Amino acid sequence: GLHVMLYLEPHLDEVLLVGEAAQRGVRVNPGAPYHLERPAPPSLLLGFSGLSGDEITEGVRRLAEAFPAV
């Protein structure tokens, strides 16, 4: 599988963004548990394993829709 850590702007709340993404049918994970640094920088862990290029494109489009909501 392939994972990418997406670092967020400091003012964004990763937990809220995870919820907004889920409402759009996109599963992402909060990045905090994967950082040794505390407090952890706001981030999301994105997974791409088993997805086609079209599915990845659609997921990124939906994730982008979630950003204005947080």
Average pLDDT over residues 1-8: 90
For residue 18, the model assigns a pLDDT of: 97
Confidence category of residue 1, pLDDT binned at 50, 70, 90: low
Query: What Cα–Cα distance (Å) separates residue 21 from each residue in 10, 35, 37, 54?
Result: 18, 21, 25, 18
Show the beta-strand stretches assigned E in 1-70.
3-7, 29-30, 43-47
- pLDDT, tens only, 16-70: 999 999 999 999 999 999 999 999 999 999 999 899 999 999 999 999 999 887 6
Measured in whole angstroms, the distance separating CA 67 from the mean position of its chain's CA atoms is 10
* H/E run at residue 55: helix 53-66
